[in-house]
Structures are given as structure tokens and as C-alpha cells.
């Protein structure tokens, strides 16, 4: 199905990457419904309220589907992150990250799969992260949520392999958006970690949708590290062990700020 024929529910449309994905979708002529905690006041934008951390997420999705029964594509591009040591992680932060980054994706699929099975073609697109493939110090809860998302989408794709629903998973590497605070951006500079502009990531998401790619990891050498981490995790342990003093310095600064 071509992009201009799609009716897309876009989660995270106010975010750094999401805004660029929305721009690309509008440029292709797709019909877009922007879903999030903040409703757009722009006259040309169709937007609906959706809080992914809410207990009544399933009911909110019901309301959206009643208003827009012809949604054939959903892009989950919402997320939250936090940078800090495990001992500094608050309990409410753990719950929030797991519910927005992981639970919401499962609830979303549970809601849309039966509806999409009745359509000729449909797609569920999930934005993961390199950190779902490589556990990184200072991001333990985020990594856990994104690794969970990776596992969930893989299982879902296999469960729906005999249907016409595309399950797509795209893992960007570090990206220059508000998700990364100054400490993280400075740490990335100190570690020599490249950060992509959100426009580039959005274009990659659109491209992988057009090509029906099931799993895409963005960036080099990140793709290589993902491969190495699955094959020889001890090597990656050793390489991250060398970076640990720099990471600890930024973790300490973060705790005292």
C-alpha cells in the first residue's frame, strides 16, 4: 500500500523524531491523525488525546477507533528516557518508562490487530532503539523497556506471519532531540558517540515503511556493535568497561544537578 493511500495514527507526533515523521507523511499525501497528550491547535491537523501511561489506555484507543474506524497504519514513535544510575532511579520513573515504552505497545497491538485482520493491508510500526540491543550503563530501565519492545515485536511478527499485517520495527541510534538532556549530549560528545538529526531518522522510518522492512537498525558502527553484542557480548562488555569512568563522571554530575 502506497503512503498516500494510508490513514496513519501517529504516536509521538510532538516529539523530535515524530514531528519529522509527520512532515514526511503530510508531504507524501497520507492522512494523519496525531495522537498524544497535547492536542494540536493547528486548523489543518487532526489530533486526538492519548496518554500512553494511563491505566485506561485500552478505553482511549476504543474511542479513537470509533471516531476513525479506517486507520490502517499505526506508528508508535512515542517514548520516554531517563539517565541515571540504578540506585538513583525512582520507582515512579520505572513504572512510567515501562508503561510508555513497552506496555503501551502491547496494548496498542492488542487493540488494532483484530481490526487490522479485517483490512486488506495494514501496518504496525514500532520505534525501538539501539539500546534495546545493547545494554548501556546509565540507561538500565530504558534499555530494559526497549529490549522488551524488540522481543515483543519479533514475537508479534511471527504470530501474524500468515496475515496481511506488516509488523515493522526500527531502532534508531542516538538522535538530537529533547529526549537527550544536556548531560547525555555532552557525554555522547565525550564518548565520540554520533547523534543523528531527527530528519534523517524520520526519512529512514518512512523508507523502511515503503519497503516493508521488518527490522531496521540505524547507523554505523552501531549496527556492527549490535551484531557483535549478540555474538560476543563479552567483547562489548570490555569496550563499555573502558568507557565507564567517563559515563560515571556524567552520572555523578546528573545526580548532583
1 versus 183: smaller Cβ distance to ligand NAP = 183
Give the CB-nearest residue to ligand NAP: 15
Measured from the CB of residue 240, what is the shortest distance to ligand NAP in angstroms?
A: 17
Measured from the CB of residue 234, what is the shortest distance to ligand NAP in angstroms?
A: 25
Residues that bind ligand NAP (CB under 6 A): 12, 14-18, 36-38, 50-53, 77-80, 100, 127, 129, 172, 174-175, 177-180
1 versus 90: smaller Cβ distance to ligand NAP = 90
Which letter, b or e, does each residue of 34-59 get, where b requires 16 or more Cβ atoms within 10 Å of its Cβ? bbbeeeeeeeeeebbebbbbeeebee
121 versus 223: smaller Cβ distance to ligand NAP = 223
Report how far residue 139's alpha carbon sits from residue 97's, in angstroms, rounded to the nearest whole number: 11
Measured from the CB of residue 95, what is the shortest distance to ligand NAP in angstroms?
A: 11
Q: Which residues fall within 8 angstroms of residue 163, CB to CB, at 6 or more apart?
A: 116, 117
Measured from the CB of residue 8, what is the shortest distance to ligand NAP in angstroms?
A: 15
Report how far residue 219's alpha carbon sits from residue 201's, in angstroms, rounded to the nearest whole number: 10
Measured from the CB of residue 183, what is the shortest distance to ligand NAP in angstroms?
A: 13
Query: What Cα–Cα distance (Å) separates residue 157 from each residue in 93, 126, 133, 164?
Result: 29, 11, 18, 11
146 versus 157: smaller Cβ distance to ligand NAP = 146
Amino acid at each position: 500500500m502506497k503512503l498516500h493511500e494510508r490513514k496513519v495514527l501517529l504516536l509521538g507526533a510532538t516529539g523530535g523524531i515524530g514531528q519529522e515523521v509527520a512532515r514526511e507523511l503530510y508531504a507524501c499525501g497520507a492522512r494523519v491523525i496525531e495522537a498524544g497528550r497535547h492536542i494540536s491547535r493547528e486548523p489543518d491537523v487532526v489530533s486526538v488525546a492519548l496518554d500512553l501511561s494511563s491505566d485506561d489506555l485500552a478505553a482511549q484507543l476504543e474511542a479513537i477507533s470509533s471516531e476513525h474506524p479506517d486507520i490502517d497504519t499505526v506508528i508508535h514513535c512515542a517514548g520516554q528516557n531517563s539517565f541515571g544510575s540504578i540506585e538513583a532511579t525512582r520507582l515512579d520513573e520505572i513504572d512510567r518508562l515501562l508503561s510508555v515504552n513497552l506496555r503501551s505497545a502491547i496494548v496498542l497491538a492488542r487493540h488494532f490487530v483484530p481490526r487490522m485482520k479485517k483490512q486488506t493491508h495494514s501496518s504496525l510500526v514500532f520505534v525501538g532503539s539501539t539500546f534495546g540491543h545493547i545494554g548501556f550503563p546509565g540507561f538500565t530501565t530504558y534499555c530494559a523497556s526497549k529490549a522488551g519492545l524488540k522481543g515483543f515485536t519479533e514475537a508479534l511478527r511471527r504470530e501474524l506471519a500468515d496475515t496481511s499485517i506488516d509488523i515493522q520495527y526500527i531502532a534508531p541510534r542516538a538522535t538530537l532531540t529533547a529526549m537527550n538532556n544536556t548531560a547525555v549530549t555532552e557525554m555522547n560528545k565525550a564518548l565520540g558517540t554520533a547523534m543523528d538529526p531527527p530528519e534523517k531518522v524520520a526519512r529512514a522510518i518512512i523508507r523502511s515503511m515503503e519497503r516493508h522492512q521488518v527490522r531496521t537498525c540505524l547507523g554505523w558502527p552501531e549496527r556492527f556493535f549490535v551484531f557483535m553484542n549478540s555474538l560476543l557480548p563479552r567483547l562489548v562488555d570490555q569496550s563499555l568497561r573502558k568507557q565507564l569512568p567517563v559515563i560515571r563522571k556524567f552520572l555523578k554530575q546528573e545526580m548532583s544537578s
